[in-house]
A and B are shown apart, each in its own frame.
Chain A
Amino acid sequence: MEFGEIVSVLLQGAVVTIKIVAMALPLAAVMAFIFGLIRLYSPAPFKQIAIFYIEFFRGTSALIQLYWIYFVLPFFGITIDAMTAAVVALGLNIGAYGTEVVRGAVQSVPKGQYEASIALNFTARQRVWRIILPQAFVNMIPPFGNLAIELVKATSLVSLITIGDLTFKAKSLADTTLQVGEIFGVVLFLYFIMSQALALLFKLLEKRLSKGLGRGGIN
């Protein structure tokens, strides 16, 4: 097989990988915010549910979660296609790690900010939404960037439930041709590029937002 042909097959796989990242990342962010805030501010029963979600998804492996959603849920009459299973599993998994990012960032806002907002008589809701979260948000960006890279890497697992992502294409090419060195070299390079691009994106975002923190970009 010609090198150009190999690259073009692999690029098709990369598109699938990017699609999964593009869908799972927002899901992870939403889960991280919802359960992170529940964990921080909700009364007992909800807090317990959040802790259960977080500990469960952080305590077991992403691959087991993926298999469970893909292979076990049909036993309960919930049949979902591989793509949905992939997005849900990865979104929930990375989201669980994201709750800790949200929590850490909120707790890193100085206590004095909280006290000043009490002294100015803001309600509990206003304190969180107007004073604490806008400041915490900037602190979340770098660790969220790291999680986004973890997500890119984790998407390779979906090849094991027959989704034609970059890893899947690589493996099928490797099984049919003998050019394994080239194939996996290109694949590793493509993943590296995707991760670095995402890292750069988050760095730019952080720069913009922290400039905003000093100059009032986010109000």
Chain B
Amino acid sequence: MSTPIIEFKNVKKRFGDTTIFSDFNFTVEENEIVSIIGPSGSGKSTLLRILMTLEGIDGGYINVAGESLWHMYWQGQYVPANSKHLHKMRNHLGMVFQHFNLFPHMSVKRNITEAPMRVKGMSREEAEESAEKLLNLVGLADKADSYPNDLSGGQKQRVGIARALAMKPSILLLDEITSALDPELVDEVLDVIRNLVKEDSFTMLLVTHEMYFAREISDRVCFFDKGTIVEEGKPEEIFTAPKHERTKAFLNAYLGQ
């Protein structure tokens, strides 16, 4: 088996007095699509936020693409990462947020081209060409010159996806990307993800409450509770024959099975 692209080893994470992870271990293989489900407050989003370097860790190690994320090798030992190291590591990762977090002062096109130009040093022409392709992919070619405040929630989130993809991350993190949407707008966003994985192979880690979607798209589903993976396996196994009581209770409550 190849080395996993994401590896959590004995990770500890606290917020004040609340322990999120006391000793967390987790791996993701390259090109694997992993869904994380579970009750709120179980640490699902924290997992993604730690990977995106939005939250630090209080102990343990994380490897991304064979390199330590939160530590760097310096003068013969591992030390906490500096901003330069984090900047390098973030090139592997992209994230789509629950509340979109589009930049309201920039056009849709500019939202997508800004980071490739400023961070990757791409030329304007190149960045705009790529933005055009991405907007086609998410079905918003006609909205390039609109501003985020003029878009519906579903459209905003599709721009959010295009913006993350423009940086060509090898790992895509989707943090409850449909939770803030009206029910009728959920599918247009999920369809984009469906098309995406059909056309290309991705390592994708998604936190979601859309159980049918998780079942359909994932290679593996992890049921999270209180900072641990209670149960994981192929989607069919988890959804049709959950072994653990807590998984059963959660799925019962969620799907009304």
Within 79-130 of B, Cβ neighbours of A (below 8 Å) are at 83, 87, 90-91, 93-95, 97, 99-107, 110, 114-115, 118-119
**B147 at interface, CB cutoff 8 A:** yes
Chain B neighbourhood of A135, CB < 8 A: 103-105
Proximity bits, A110-142, B CB within 8 Å = 1, else 0? 101101101111111010001100110000000
Residues from chain A with a CB closer than 8 A to the CB of B53 are: 118
Q: Write out the residue numbers on chain B whose beta carbons fall within 8 Å of the beta carbon of A216.
A: 105-107, 110, 147
A135 and B102 CA atoms in complex are apart in Å by 12
B118: which A residues are within 8 A, CB to CB?
122, 126, 130
**With A and B bound together, what is the CA distance between A130 and B111 in angstroms?**
11
Measured between alpha carbons, how far is A121 from B84 in the docked complex, in Å? 11
Contacts of B99 in A (CB 8 A): 112
Asked if A172 CB lies within 8 Å of chain B CBs, one says no
Q: Assuming A115-B54, A119-B93, A121-B119, is B105 touching A212 (CB within 8 A)?
A: yes
> How many Å from the CB of B64 to the closest CB on chain A?
13
Contact: B110 with A130, CB < 8 Å?
A: no
Contact B91 A121 (CB under 8 A): yes
Q: Give B contacts to A, CB under 8 Å.
A: 52-54, 83, 87, 90-91, 93-95, 97, 99-107, 110, 114-115, 118-119, 147, 149-150, 163-164, 167
Known A-B contacts A119-B93, A120-B167; the reply to A134 vs B105 at CB < 8 A is: yes
The CA-CA distance from A119 to B94 in the complex, in Å, is 6
- By beta carbon, the residue of chain B nearest A124 is B83
Task: Report A187-219 residues with CB < 8 Å from chain B CB.
Answer: 212-216, 218-219
Q: Is the interface of B mostly helix, strand, loop or mixed?
A: loop
A214 touches B147 (CB 8 A): yes
Please indicate the chain B residues that have their CB under 8 angstroms from the CB of A212 in the complex. Answer: 105
Which residues from B are CB-within-8-Å of A130?
114, 118
Query: Contacts A126-B118, A130-B114; is A121 near B105 (CB within 8 Å)?
Result: no
Q: Which of B87, B106, B149, B164 contacts A119 (CB 8 A)?
A: B164
What are 8 of the A-B contact pairs (CB < 8 Å)? A115-B52, A119-B95, A121-B91, A126-B119, A134-B105, A135-B105, A216-B105, A216-B107
Enumerate A131-165 residues with CB–CB distance to B below 8 Å: 131, 134-135
Interface SS majority for chain A: helix
A112 to B101, Cβ gap below 8 A? Answer: yes
- Within 8 Å by CB of B97, from A116, A126, A134, lies A116
Contacts of A213 in B (CB 8 A): 104-105
- The smallest C-beta distance from A111 to any residue of chain B, in angstroms, reads 9
| Interchain residue pairs A-B with the least CB separation, the first 5 | A116-B101, A112-B101, A120-B115, A119-B95, A121-B90
A123 & B87 in contact (Cβ 8 Å cutoff) = yes
B102 neighbours in A (Cβ, 8 Å): 116
Residue of A nearest to B145 (CB): A216
Q: Would you call B101 and A214 a contact (CB within 8 A)?
A: no
Please, how many angstroms separate the alpha-carbon atoms of A110 and B105 in the complex? 13
Neighbouring A residues of B87 by C-beta, 8 Å: 121, 123
Bound together, the chains give a CA A219 to CA B110 distance in angstroms of 9
- Chain B residue with minimal CB distance to A218? B105
Whether B110 and A120, one on each chain, are in contact in the complex, defined by CB atoms closer than 8 angstroms, is no
Q: Are the CB atoms of A115 and B101 closer together than 8 Å?
A: yes
Point out the residues of chain A lying under 8 angstroms from B90, CB to CB: 118-119, 121
CA distance A112 to B233 in the complex (A): 32
| Complex contacts, A120 vs chain B, CB 8 Å | 94, 114-115, 119, 163-164, 167
- Cα separation A113 to B115 with both chains bound (whole Å): 13
Which of B102, B105, B149 counts the most chain A CB atoms within 10 A? B105
Q: Are A119 and B54 in contact (CB under 8 A)?
A: yes
Q: How far is the CA of A122 from the CA of B147 in the complex (A)?
A: 21
- Residues of A with C-beta under 8 A to B83: 124
A residues within 8 A CB of B114?
A: 120, 130
